[in-house]
Each structure stands twice: as C-alpha cells, then as structure tokens.
Amino acid sequence: MVTSDLGACEWFVWDLRRSGLIDRGQLDAIVGEFLKRNPRAEAPALADHLVHQGTITPFQAERILNGKTQGLVLGPYVLLDAIGTGSMGQVYKASSKNDQNLFAVKVLPRRSMWNVRLARRQVRSFANFSHPAVVPFMDVGTAGGLHYLSWPLAEGQTLEAVVQRTGRLAPALAAVYGVQVAQGLTIAHQNSLFHGLVKPSNILVGSDGQARILDFGIGSLLVENEGESLVDTMSTANTLTSGLDCASPESIMEPTNRTPAGDQYSLGCVLYYALTGRVPFPEGSAVEKMMAHQAKEPTPIRELAPEVPDGLCKVVAKLMAKTPEDRYSGCEEVVEALEPFLGDLSASPKPGDSRGPGSGLRRPGSSGSRPGLSNPSSNYGGRTAGASAPVRTPPPPQSLPGVKINPMPPGRADVGRGAPKSNPGVRGIAAPPPPANRVPSRAAFQIPPAAEVEEPVYEAPVPQTRAENLRWAEEDTNSRSGVGPLGLVMVAVLVMVAVYFGATFLMNK
Ligand SMILES: Nc1ncnc2c1ncn2[C@@H]1O[C@H](COP(=O)(O)OP(=O)(O)OP(=O)(O)O)[C@@H](O)[C@H]1O
C-alpha cells in the first residue's frame, strides 16, 4: 500500500509498522480494507477497528496513538498489557512469539546494568525442578537497550491485596498458604536457590487456592558481588527498601547476606501479616523498621488476633527468630510445624464470634484426610523434580460453611484482581478462594532454553565491555562510583543502630 492511500492514518500506520507488532502484509491488508470503507477515517478510528478485530490490544493501541512505538516487542515477547509497577521497573503481560504462552515480563529502567551470563545461569537453575508454589524465573534478555526478565504469567491476587481487602485470614487458611509457600521454598532451597525477597506482595493466591511465590530469581541476583550484580545500585536499593517489612535482620545488616534461613524469617513476617492484618513493625521510618527487625519483638499475635492458636504463634515466633540458628533447620521442618494448624479451624473462633472452639467451622479437606504426599513435578508435568524429595502438598482450602465464595471477576481473566469476598458475618477474616479443580497448565510454564530464544535486536547497542556478555547502560554511573545508594543505606543503618544502642545504654544507666 502506498503512503498516499493512507490519508489521515498515515503516521499511525507507519508507527504500527515500526513497532514490529504485526506482520506488514497482514497490516496492509486490514488497513486497506478498512480505508476502502472509511476513506476519511482518523487514526483513533483505525486503532479502534484493529482492537475490535483483535489485531492489537487496547494497551498497544494507546501506546502507538501516543507515539510510543519502541519496546512493545522485546526479544521473543510481545507486550499485551501493563500489569503493575514495582521497585525495579514495570511489569507487563506478554505473549511469547515462540509458543504463544503468556508471561509476566519485568522491564528494567534504561540505567540498569546487566549481566546476561549471570542471569542466564539463574534461569538454568530453575529448569531442574518444578513446584506449584514456585513461579520459575524463565528468561532474561536485552532488546532495544531495555533489559527484561520473565516468568510465566500466574493468575490470582497477591496475599497483600487479599488481606488489604478482606482483613486478616482465618488461622487455618494462613497455615495452608504458609505450608504451600514453605513447600515451594523447600524445593528451591534443595536446588541451592533461595528467594531473598519473600513478602506478601510476592505471593499470588490463585482462584484454585494455590499460593505461588513470585519474583523468584531477583533476590539471589541482588547478592552477586558489586561488579557483577544484575541491576544497578539504585534499583537494588529500591528493591531492598520495598522489602523492608519482611527483611531478615541479617540481610538488613548485610544486604548481600540472603540465605534460606532469611527466607524463613520473611515467611514468618508473611504469616504474621496474614494472621494479624499488619506487618510486624508497621510504624516508623525505614531506619526505625530496620532497627526493629534487629532488636524489637513485634506486638504479640494474640493481642491483635486472639483466635490464633498459641502453637501457631510459636511457629511464627521461631521463624522470626533474630538469630538464624534459632529458626528451623530447614523449610521441610516448617511444613511439619504448620501442618497441625491446617485443620484447626474449630479452635479458631472468629473476631466478634462469641462461639467457642468447635463451633461448626470445618477444617480444609474435612474428610479428615491429612494432606497427602504429592510429587511436585506431576503438578505441572514436563520438568522433573531434580534431586528433590517429594514435598507434602496440602489440599487447596475449601469453603467455610456460610461463606459465599465469589469467583474471580470477569475481565482480566488471566490476571485476576478480584478478592475473594468475606462473609458479611465474618468480619475481618478472609474467606478462602474456591477449591481447586484445575491444575495449573504446565504448558504455560515452558519456554525454550536460552540458546533457542531469538537474540534481541539492538536498536541502540549497549556498549559491551566484557567478552562474556556483560552489558552496561551508559547512564549507569552509581554502580561504578564505589559507594552507591546501597552502600549509603548500609552506612546509615549501621550509624543508626549504633546511636540507638548507645542511647538505650545511656538511658538505662
Ligand atoms: N509472574 C507473575 N504473574 C502475574 N503477575 C505478576 C507476576 N509477577 C509480578 N506480577 C505482578 O506485577 C505487579 C508488579 O510486580 P513487581 O514485582 O514489580 O512489584 P511489587 O511486588 O508490587 O513490588 P516490588 O518491586 O517492591 O517487589 C504486581 O502486581 C505483581 O503481582
């Protein structure tokens, strides 16, 4: 089609061609047909037509109408919609050109520095196992000067969103999610991977009742030594600050000190949040929170949520022990410790419920059966579970009597954002999501190995300073200036901790 035929839509069609979203022949055919019927149409009308035809998404149309043609295709990924913004960058829903599966693609700011070799090594580690609670780190790449990381797109809403909308969870439901997360961590730890940033916003609860750990891979990349780290120090500092509410004392003192034991502490904070509706140290500045994790005890759980069984409070307290050696020897032990509370609903009167224990609440899986042993690999098919031992999988939570379960709202079917509604008569306790009758599709968790992934096209090549694929963006000055924001944060923390203890000592004298 010649340019003169395009009328008022000329610039839009050019931008669409430039975006790489649609095959040129296909685009010209659709546009030609549309303009034959609507010769005076403006760009928004054509965009509308393409959206209605399903040729482009509303998000893509809006971007192109605003002249933003770059970055809609990143390596093998076509960005379909924006999901949210985190401390490191923007997350998009994307489809893979290789297999049409859906992914969550995190795009880092241009200033980030990048070590593809290290990141790919991380990705490969996730190929050795699979577990329903682990959303595996799938791919990394650089395209058009933008760096991206990808994970399979998981459906659900974050634990943070669930609790914010519906209040604290019934203890048995919190225990179910705790067991699921601990199982995922167990198998990751067995494969020498830790998370490093476990927090309520990194746990997605699906409509099948399965908790899934997001952002796996980032925490471990943050601990690579300064010259080889995945991202620039600004992104690192942002990420660490955003994770402060659940950060282990040892990782606060030394941000590269991220270990499986630290994941336990963070899981303890997540459980505290789920059981009480608030993080352990909600008040104060970032530095005060850091000091609280070092030296303070949180408000006792039962002061905030009297229905929580004492034994469950003890499990959370052990997880949140200040010294790593005082926590559990491994997450499999955490699973065992939490299991007795999966069915303890009968001992958990709800707030505002005068009925005592045994007041008719049903335990999840109330047939009486204990959570069965399951082979994690069977949950996704495909990958085998490497050297890992089988991990117990609790049944997905079932409905409580009298609690109406609402399915995820329509619309964003693949990224459900609706919260399970609580029973009006059950103030502050979230109803569990509907039971599972659907196993997450393993197909959605597969991507060709890194070597098969189409090499990204470099529109503005990032200077390559090392033979082994180490790429730095030009604006990245912090990361090479010796003490970046991360260093400053650490120095500030150390000074504040010293002042705090000094003042406490003097006041006690
Ligand atoms: N694999 C995934 N599937 C579906 N949604 C995801 C996935 N990964 C991330 N998200 C969603 O994308 C949004 C942004 O995620 P991101 O991890 O960047 O931010 P965050 O967790 O809110 O904050 P932070 O960066 O501090 O961890 C969140 O709503 C998150 O739930």
Per the listing, tokens 């040129």 go with 24
C-alpha of residue 202 to centroid of ligand 1, in Å: 7
Ligand 1 atom closest to Cα of residue 87: 25
Of 165, 214, 235, 266, the one to substitute when testing ligand 1's pocket (max ligand atoms within 8 A of C-beta) is: 214
Could you please report the per-residue DSSP string of 146-181? Answer: EEEEEEE---SEEHHHHHHHH-SBPHHHHHHHHHHH
C-alpha of residue 476 to centroid of ligand 1, in Å: 24
Q: Predicted confidence band at 357 (pLDDT cuts at 50, 70, 90)?
A: very low
Q: pLDDT value at position 391?
A: 40
Range of 41-55, 239-253, 362-376 with top mean pLDDT: 41-55
Alpha carbon nearest to ligand 1 atom 29, residue: 84
C-alpha of residue 193 to centroid of ligand 1, in Å: 20
C-alpha of residue 203 to centroid of ligand 1, in Å: 9
Ligand 1 atom closest to Cα of residue 135: 1
pLDDT at 482 over 70: no
**Distances from the Cα of 206 to the Cα of 159, 230, 416, 418, 426, angstroms:** 10, 29, 8, 11, 22
Higher pLDDT, 145 or 336: 336
Q: Which one, of 371, 385, 377, lies nearest residue 338 by Cα?
A: 371
Residues near 23 by Cβ (< 8 Å), separated by ≥ 6? none
Q: Predicted confidence band at 390 (pLDDT cuts at 50, 70, 90)?
A: very low
C-alpha of residue 86 to centroid of ligand 1, in Å: 6
C-alpha of residue 228 to centroid of ligand 1, in Å: 24
Helix (H), strand (E) at residue 107: strand 102-108
Positive or negative, the CA dihedral 470, 475, 480, 484 is negative
pLDDT at 223 over 70: no
* 106 labelled binding-site residue: yes
Q: Predicted confidence band at 508 (pLDDT cuts at 50, 70, 90)?
A: low
At 397-439, the pLDDT tens digits run 443 322 222 222 222 223 333 333 333 222 334 433 333 332 2
Q: Predicted confidence band at 139 (pLDDT cuts at 50, 70, 90)?
A: very high
Distance CA 216, CA 135 (A): 7
C-alpha of residue 47 to centroid of ligand 1, in Å: 29
pLDDT at 338 over 90: yes
Ligand 1 atom closest to Cα of residue 85: 14
* Residue 232 CB coordination number (10 Å): 27
Ligand 1 atom closest to Cα of residue 155: 4
Distance CA 138, CA 444 (A): 11
Q: pLDDT value at position 385?
A: 32
pTM to 2 decimals? 0.71
Q: Predicted confidence band at 114 (pLDDT cuts at 50, 70, 90)?
A: low
What is the number of residues in the chain? 509
C-alpha of residue 92 to centroid of ligand 1, in Å: 9
At 276-319, the pLDDT tens digits run 999 999 998 888 999 999 999 999 999 999 999 999 999 999 99
Helix (H), strand (E) at residue 34: helix 24-37
Alpha carbon nearest to ligand 1 atom 13, residue: 84
Of 79, 80, 83, the one to substitute when testing ligand 1's pocket (max ligand atoms within 8 A of C-beta) is: 83
Q: pLDDT value at position 255?
A: 72
Alpha carbon nearest to ligand 1 atom 15, residue: 86
Alpha carbon nearest to ligand 1 atom 6, residue: 104
Alpha carbon nearest to ligand 1 atom 7, residue: 104
Alpha carbon nearest to ligand 1 atom 17, residue: 86
What's the whole-number average pLDDT of the chain?
Answer: 72
Task: Taking residues 215-232, report their average pLDDT.
Answer: 66
C-alpha of residue 82 to centroid of ligand 1, in Å: 11
pLDDT at 179 over 70: yes
The pocket around ligand 1, CB under 6 angstroms, is made up of: 83-84, 86-88, 91, 104, 106, 135, 151, 153-154, 158, 201-202, 204, 214-215, 239, 242, 415
Of 95, 195, 201, 205, the one to substitute when testing ligand 1's pocket (max ligand atoms within 8 A of C-beta) is: 201
Of 91, 244, 412, the one to substitute when testing ligand 1's pocket (max ligand atoms within 8 A of C-beta) is: 91
Worst-scoring range by mean pLDDT, 110-124, 253-267, 313-327, 352-366?
352-366
Angle in degrees, 0-180, between the axes of helices 310-319 and 171-190, rounded to the nearest 10 = 30
pLDDT at 497 over 80: no
Torsion of CA 345, 207, 431, 359, to 10 degrees: -30
Ligand 1 atom closest to Cα of residue 202: 21
Alpha carbon nearest to ligand 1 atom 30, residue: 84
Phi, psi of 140 (to 5 degrees): -140, 155
C-alpha of residue 320 to centroid of ligand 1, in Å: 24
Could you please report the per-residue DSSP string of 232-296? Answer: -HHHHHHHHHHTGGG--HHHHHSTT---HHHHHHHHHHHHHHHHHSS-SS-SS-HHHHHHHHHHP
At 49-76, the pLDDT tens digits run 999 999 999 999 999 999 999 899 999 9
Of 215, 417, 445, the one to substitute when testing ligand 1's pocket (max ligand atoms within 8 A of C-beta) is: 215
Range of 201-215, 219-233, 472-486 with top mean pLDDT: 201-215
Q: Which domains does the chain have, with CATH numbers?
A: 3-69 (no CATH), 77-341 (1.10.510.10)
Angle in degrees, 0-180, between the axes of helices 10-19 and 43-53, rounded to the nearest 10 = 50
Alpha carbon nearest to ligand 1 atom 1, residue: 153
Worst-scoring range by mean pLDDT, 10-24, 125-139, 447-461?
447-461
C-alpha of residue 106 to centroid of ligand 1, in Å: 8
Q: Predicted confidence band at 87 (pLDDT cuts at 50, 70, 90)?
A: confident
C-alpha of residue 201 to centroid of ligand 1, in Å: 7
Ligand 1 atom closest to Cα of residue 154: 3
Per the listing, tokens 């307290």 go with 317
